[in-house]
């Protein structure tokens, strides 16, 4: 567990640096760009690009996650054809998505033309953006297995945002002469970090391309095809459900891209809750895959349980912290008042994220097991609920509708996975500390709300935040709600008070 903890902590720090950059980027967009422009770049490009990438990858990231140990243990690195297969298949998948995009272009334009004309204008530039995410998403899990999760986290969370921030600065100072040119350059941001990661792994000698079918591929070919197909269906369904809100809002809700911008800002706030999920998930893939291969159910149970309580402690605390400061944050930083309507969007999406994190790395546990098909089936159920709920609620109540749909569908989705792991393997992510964590967060919220809820301004933001962190964080340490938080806190105290520290 120490390796996972170390990489998770480092990756979490990187994720938070990336989040800080993301907040800065979104602040600049919300302050100096129109809501339509913000909705186009941070809303629709990301939503459609992610859906395109998972459609194009044809299950190759899951293939790498599941079968890497078999290739690693049975082949010299020069004969390992895993990455070659994954890249070629994903490129073929992208070509198919490009052809489908051309075939159905008129229908797509018809859906968006009235409310989101700017999206139609830059339609073809969505595809290089999606290609970049596709290639990076194939190389990323390979990097996880090589214990490069820190590097991959840095590229995904920090480097791509640095490139974006540079483009924004160049646009605002006039070097990039038009918003249209900015959009076209932005379309290549993910492709740039994908190329960098590929070149880095090649130069370090950890990536080789072999175009001769290995004995491992021949032996597991039928299982690889089955895994790739079913995990592809599951990943497409999952990501479609995650990003469907923006896609529907842009075509149905009054305001079009402006409404997408409001929704996206609220979704950004909820993404702060998700920060440790990406880091913990990336660090746990390798150990879980190895533990399933070694039939070490005890280790799997420990990883599952500890990931759940760690993520719950963080996610509940972050949710409350953002909720008590949401309106003040928009007012203090003088953002367009239209973004105020996203507060309840954040509320429901934020609760959905708490439900997702609080059930631990169940996706990784199932995805690396022999029962990975459960991920596919639960993903199908997720989409079967998401599409009609998003469509109906968006039409009836606007941008809050998809947020409510998000909470309902992700709660059902995680309940299915929790129930499966509990019934088949007796794996349980919850214990009494899970309940204590929620009660502690609720009590801390009530205290902050009663003392400072009617006060407004930047000073009161700091006061509410400081009180909540003191009460909630102190309670987590006092009641030892997480086995991993206390060692980290003790390490911080030693470095601050020890030789060369601050004492």
User: Are 120 and 28 within one domain?
Assistant: yes
Confidence of residue 223 (pLDDT cuts 50, 70, 90): confident
Report the C-alpha gap between 483 and 334 in whole angstroms.
41
User: Are 447 and 355 within one domain?
Assistant: no
- Given this model, what pLDDT does residue 108 score? 92
In-domain check, residue 499: no
- Given this model, what pLDDT does residue 196 score? 94
- Mean per-residue pLDDT, 75-96: 90
Q: What is the pTM of this model?
A: 0.79
243 pLDDT higher than 90: no
- Among 394, 409, 430, identify where a domain stops: 430
User: Are 16 and 127 within one domain?
Assistant: yes
3-state secondary structure at position 460: helix
In-domain check, residue 121: yes
340 pLDDT higher than 70: yes
User: Are 228 and 364 within one domain?
Assistant: yes
Percent of the chain with pLDDT over 70: 93
All residues at 6 or more sequence positions from 231 whose CB lies less than 8 Å from its CB, including other chains: 59, 62, 63, 367, 372, 375, 376
- Mean per-residue pLDDT, 373-397: 86
User: Are 301 and 229 within one domain?
Assistant: yes
Whether the Cβ atoms of residue 411 and residue 403 lie closer than 8 Å to each other: no
In-domain check, residue 98: yes
- Given this model, what pLDDT does residue 1 score? 47
In-domain check, residue 500: no
User: Are 406 and 378 within one domain?
Assistant: yes
Q: How many helices (DSSP H) and strands (DSSP E) are in the chain? A: 25, 0
User: Are 161 and 140 within one domain?
Assistant: yes
User: Are 404 and 489 within one domain?
Assistant: no
User: Are 259 and 319 within one domain?
Assistant: yes
Q: Of the given ranges (59-63, 149-153, 159-163), which has the lowest mean pLDDT?
A: 149-153
Whether the Cβ atoms of residue 394 and residue 370 lie closer than 8 Å to each other: no
Report the C-alpha gap between 316 and 351 in whole angstroms.
8
User: Are 374 and 437 within one domain?
Assistant: no
Whether the Cβ atoms of residue 458 and residue 329 lie closer than 8 Å to each other: no
pLDDT in tens, 464-476: 999 999 999 999 9
386 pLDDT higher than 80: yes
User: Are 408 and 481 within one domain?
Assistant: no
* Higher-confidence position of 437 and 230: 437
Report the C-alpha gap between 487 and 440 in whole angstroms.
21
- Given this model, what pLDDT does residue 388 score? 92
User: Are 380 and 469 within one domain?
Assistant: no
Burial of 412 (0-12, 13-18, 19+ CB in 10 A): middle
Report the C-alpha gap between 46 and 52 in whole angstroms.
10
- Among 378, 396, 430, identify where a domain stops: 430
500 pLDDT higher than 50: no
- Given this model, what pLDDT does residue 487 score? 63
pLDDT in tens, 269-291: 898 888 777 678 777 877 888 89
In-domain check, residue 387: yes
- Among 415, 430, 445, identify where a domain stops: 430
> Residue 438 belongs to what domain range?
431-494
Confidence of residue 495 (pLDDT cuts 50, 70, 90): low
Report the C-alpha gap between 71 and 400 in whole angstroms.
47
In-domain check, residue 212: yes
- Given this model, what pLDDT does residue 502 score? 40
Rounded to 5°, angle at Cα 157 from 191 and 360: 120
Nearest in space to 302 (alpha carbons), one of 361, 369, 373: 361
In-domain check, residue 503: no
pLDDT in tens, 169-207: 999 999 999 999 999 999 999 999 999 999 998 888 888
- Given this model, what pLDDT does residue 474 score? 93
Confidence of residue 415 (pLDDT cuts 50, 70, 90): very high
Domain count of the fold of the chain: 2
pLDDT in tens, 416-457: 999 999 999 999 999 999 999 999 999 999 999 999 888 888
Give 358's Cβ-side CA count (13 Å radius).
Answer: 25
48 pLDDT higher than 70: yes
Mean pLDDT of the chain: 88
In-domain check, residue 501: no
Rounded to 5°, angle at Cα 268 from 266 and 273: 105
Give 99's Cβ-side CA count (13 Å radius).
Answer: 7
């Amino acid at each position: 567990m120490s390796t996972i903890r170390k990489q998770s902590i480092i990756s979490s720090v990187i994720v938070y640096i990336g989040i800080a950059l993301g907040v800065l980027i979104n602040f600049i967009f919300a302050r100096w760009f129109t809501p339509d422009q913000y909705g186009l770049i941070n809303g629709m490009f990301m939503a459609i690009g992610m859906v395109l990438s998972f459609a194009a990858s044809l299950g190759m990231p899951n293939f790498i996650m599941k079968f890497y140990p078999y290739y690693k243990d049975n082949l010299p690195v020069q004969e390992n054809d895993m990455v070659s297969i994954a890249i070629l298949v994903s490129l073929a998948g992208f070509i198919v998505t490009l052809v489908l995009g051309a075939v159905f272009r008129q229908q797509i334009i018809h859906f968006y033309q009235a409310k989101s004309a700017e999206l139609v204008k830059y339609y073809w530039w969505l595809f290089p953006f999606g290609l970049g995410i596709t290639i990076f998403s194939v190389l990323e899990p390979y990097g996880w297995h090589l214990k490069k999760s820190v590097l991959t986290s840095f590229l995904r969370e920090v480097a791509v945002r640095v490139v974006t921030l540079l483009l924004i600065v160049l646009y605002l100072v006039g070097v990039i002469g038009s918003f249209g040119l900015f959009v076209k350059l932005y379309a290549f941001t993910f492709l740039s970090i994908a190329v960098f990661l590929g070149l880095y792994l090649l130069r370090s000698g950890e990536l080789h391309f072999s175009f001769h079918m290995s004995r491992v591929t021949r032996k597991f070919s039928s299982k690889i095809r089955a895994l790739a197909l079913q995990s592809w269906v599951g990943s497409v369904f999952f990501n479609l459900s995650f990003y469907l809100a923006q896609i529907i809002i842009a075509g149905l809700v009054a305001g079009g891209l402006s409404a997408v911008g409001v929704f996206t800002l609220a979704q950004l706030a909820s993404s702060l809750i998700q920060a440790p999920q990406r880091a913990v998930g990336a660090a746990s893939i390798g150990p879980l895959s190895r533990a399933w291969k070694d039939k070490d159910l005890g280790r799997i149970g420990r990883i599952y349980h500890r990931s759940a309580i760690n993520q719950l402690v963080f996610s509940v605390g972050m949710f409350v912290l953002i909720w008590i400061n949401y309106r003040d944050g928009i007012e203090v930083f003088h953002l367009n008042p239209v973004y105020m309507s996203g507060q309840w969007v954040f509320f429901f999406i934020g609760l959905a994220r708490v439900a997702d994190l609080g059930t631990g790395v169940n996706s990784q546990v199932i995805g690396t097991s022999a029962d990975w098909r459960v991920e596919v089936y639960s993903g199908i159920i997720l989409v079967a609920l998401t599409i009609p709920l998003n469509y109906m609620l968006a039409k009836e109540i606007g941008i809050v509708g998809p947020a409510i749909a998000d909470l309902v569908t992700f709660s059902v989705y995680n309940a299915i996975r929790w129930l499966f792991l509990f019934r088949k393997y007796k794996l349980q992510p919850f214990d009494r500390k899970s309940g204590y964590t929620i009660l502690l967060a609720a009590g801390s919220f009530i205290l902050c709300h009663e003392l400072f809820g009617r006060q407004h301004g930047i000073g009161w933001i700091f006061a509410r935040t400081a009180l909540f962190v003191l009460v909630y964080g102190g309670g987590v340490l006092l009641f030892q709600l997480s086995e991993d938080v206390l060692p980290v806190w003790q390490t911080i105290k030693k470095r601050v008070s020890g030789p060369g520290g601050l004492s």
